[in-house]
């Protein structure tokens, strides 16, 4: 195998891994020097000249000319007699440069060189992927679903790099099949056995933030600032926005004409309800806005503003709490305080707490009713049976039985 053939065979790594020429030359030189160092004990007296484009490789060993009988290390020194046989003009003290042919390395060493090169290239690839994706943490990427497993999905990016979307980072209603294109945010980059593992997420607040940047030019340009995002993936999200330009309505700009801008985001998030609200440093006003669409009668802040007591009309309580309690839970996270909801004027009504019926009604049924804001008997009776069926996961027969039990208390 001559030098040119060897270089050609090594070049396949360059094309396969798309490594730039300078880096490839450095890797090749390192690989050859490692072999030469093993053979000669040192590589300080060796010159390695590589030209990948032309397929040229030259290895020159430089040895100092010494007097006959004074050669201590034949790898570093050559006698004057041997030097004169190469070139009649040499003198003691000068250096003799001799070219080494690859074929002289032997088949085993050449195979070892290839294996070493492959190892170096893979190591460089892993390094590059780690650095590239470490800088992309928090950014949206688009990839193709390559393999679906029970606990995660394998995604390939445009370069063929493998990315992982765990089940825990998927929206509950996500459904993908092989070949589908998906969008997700780069959540983190882990190292496992010295190999980068890129973890994607579709549930992170950053994913929603990046989607707003894609759909709303004012957010991308920095005219509208997203102050905070809280999410119950697939169910509901609240996005607090602020504009430093009085001429721009941040909520209107994010929603778009007839919801044109936010519709694309909602579809991407599997019909997740998104509430866009105006950010304010006024805690009471922020609580009021965050509990939208419920209309609040009054708010009282307690425990050094760590808790808010909110009073609403009876028909607004279930709106404030929301299906499954998502609305009030997200409002609490957004405002960073505990929110207690009370029905306005409840103390003036002769009523019975639902817990009083624990002996007659199963606790899971009571929990379903409380989840929609019904904490007393009359609060349940005020809502038509059909509406109770829609708002809860209870069957009509179950609700009818509950209503009978509650009515009998007042009769």
pLDDT tens digits for range 184-232: 999 999 988 888 999 999 999 999 999 999 999 999 999 999 999 999 9
Beta-carbon contacts of residue 299 (< 8 Å; ≥ 6 apart) = 284, 287, 288, 308, 309, 310, 311
Structural domain contains residue 324: no
* Domain end call among 279, 310, 331: 279
Q: Determine contact, residues 300/312, Cβ cutoff 8 Å.
A: no
* Bridge partners (DSSP) listed for residue 78: 65
Question: Same domain, yes or no, for 160 and 275?
Answer: no
Give the C-alpha separation, 205 to 134, whole Å: 18
Each residue of 31-45: pLDDT tens digit?
777 777 777 777 777
- Same-domain pairing of 28 and 78: yes
**Same domain assignment for residues 194 and 209:** no
Residue 348 — pLDDT band, cuts 50, 70, 90? very low
The pLDDT of residue 285 is above 80: yes
Does residue 331 lie within any of the structural domains? no
Determine which helix (DSSP H) or strand (DSSP E) holds 178, and give its type and residue range.
none
Residue 230 sits in a domain whose CATH number is 3.30.300.20
Q: Which of 15-29, 132-146, 212-226, 314-328 has the lowest mean pLDDT?
A: 15-29
Q: Which of 155, 144, 149 is closest to 181 using CA atoms?
A: 144
What is the extent of the structural domain holding 265? Answer: 205-279
Q: What is the CATH number of the domain that holds 157?
A: 2.40.50.140
CB 87 within 8 A of CB 96: yes
Q: What is the mean pLDDT of the chain?
A: 84
Assess if residue 339 is contained within a domain. Answer: no
**Angle, in degrees to the nearest 10, between helices 363-371 and 396-410:** 90
33 inside domain: yes
**DSSP tag of 101:** P
Average pLDDT over residues 289-301: 90
In a domain, 173, yes or no: yes
Our count of domains for the chain comes to: 4
Instruction: Check whether residue 121 and residue 24 sit in a common domain.
Output: yes
Asked whether the beta carbons of 296 and 309 are under 8 A apart, the reply is no
Residue 102 lies in a domain: yes
Answer yes or no: do 88 and 192 share one domain.
no
Between CA 61 and CA 75 the distance in angstroms is 8
**Domain final residue, candidates 131, 164, 193:** 131
Residue pair 113/123 in contact (Cβ under 8 Å)? The answer is no
- Between β-strands 77-79 and 56-66, what pairing exists: parallel, antiparallel or unpaired? parallel
172-183: pLDDT as tens digits: 999 999 999 999
Domain identity same for 168 and 101: no
Do residues 217 and 190 touch, judged by C-beta distance below 8 A?
no
Percentage of residues in the chain with pLDDT exceeding 90? 39
Task: Say if CB 331 and CB 362 are below 8 A apart.
Answer: no
Could you read off the pLDDT of 90-142 as tens digits, one per residue? 788 788 877 777 666 767 777 777 777 778 778 888 888 899 999 999 999 99
> Does residue 390 lie within any of the structural domains?
yes
**Are 184 and 75 in the same domain?**
no
Structure tokens at 287: 């609580």
Instruction: State pTM to two decimals.
Output: 0.67
Task: Report whether 31 contacts 115 (CB < 8 A).
Answer: no
């Amino acid at each position: 195998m001559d030098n040119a053939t060897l270089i050609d065979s090594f070049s396949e790594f360059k094309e396969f891994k798309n490594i730039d020429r300078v880096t490839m030359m450095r890797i090749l030189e390192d690989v050859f020097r490692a072999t030469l160092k093993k053979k000669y004990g040192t590589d300080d007296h060796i010159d390695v000249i590589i030209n990948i484009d032309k397929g040229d490789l030259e290895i020159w060993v430089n040895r100092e000319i010494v007097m006959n009988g004074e050669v201590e290390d034949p790898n570093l020194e050559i006698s004057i007699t041997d030097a004169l046989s190469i070139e009649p003009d040499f003198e003691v003290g000068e250096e003799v440069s001799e070219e080494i042919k690859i074929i002289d390395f032997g088949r085993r060493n050449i195979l070892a060189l290839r294996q070493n090169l492959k190892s170096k290239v893979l190591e460089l690839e892993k390094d590059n992927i780690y650095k590239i994706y470490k800088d992309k943490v928090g950014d949206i990427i688009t990839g193709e679903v390559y393999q679906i497993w029970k606990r995660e999905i394998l995604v390939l990016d445009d370069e063929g790099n493998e990315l992982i979307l765990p089940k825990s980072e998927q929206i509950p209603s996500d459904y993908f099949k092989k070949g589908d294109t998906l969008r997700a945010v780069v959540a983190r980059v882990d190292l496992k056995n010295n190999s980068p593992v890129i973890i994607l997420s579709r549930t992170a607040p950053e994913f929603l933030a990046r989607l707003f940047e894609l759909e709303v030019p004012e957010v991308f340009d920095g005219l509208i600032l997203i102050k905070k995002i809280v999410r119950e993936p697939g169910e509901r999200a609240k996005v607090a926005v602020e504009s430093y330009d009085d001429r721009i309505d941040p909520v209107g700009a994010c929603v778009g004409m007839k919801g044109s801008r936010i519709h694309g985001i909602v579809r991407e998030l599997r019909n997740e309800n998104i509430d866009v609200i105006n950010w304010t440093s006024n805690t009471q006003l922020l609580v009021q806005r965050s509990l939208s669409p419920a209309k609040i009668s009054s708010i009282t802040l307690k425990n050094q503003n760590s808790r808010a007591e909110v009073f609403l009309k009876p028909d607004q309580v279930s709106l404030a709490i929301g299906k499954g309690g998502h609305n009030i839970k997200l409002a609490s996270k957004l405002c960073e305080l505990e929110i207690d909801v009370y029905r306005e004027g409840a103390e003036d009504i002769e009523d019975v707490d639902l817990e009083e019926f624990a002996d007659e009604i199963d606790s899971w049924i009571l929990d379903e009713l409380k989840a929609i804001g019904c904490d007393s008997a009359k609060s349940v009776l005020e809502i038509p049976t059909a509406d109770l069926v829609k708002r809860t996961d209870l069957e009509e027969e179950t609700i009818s039985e509950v209503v009978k039990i509650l009515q009998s208390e007042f009769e």
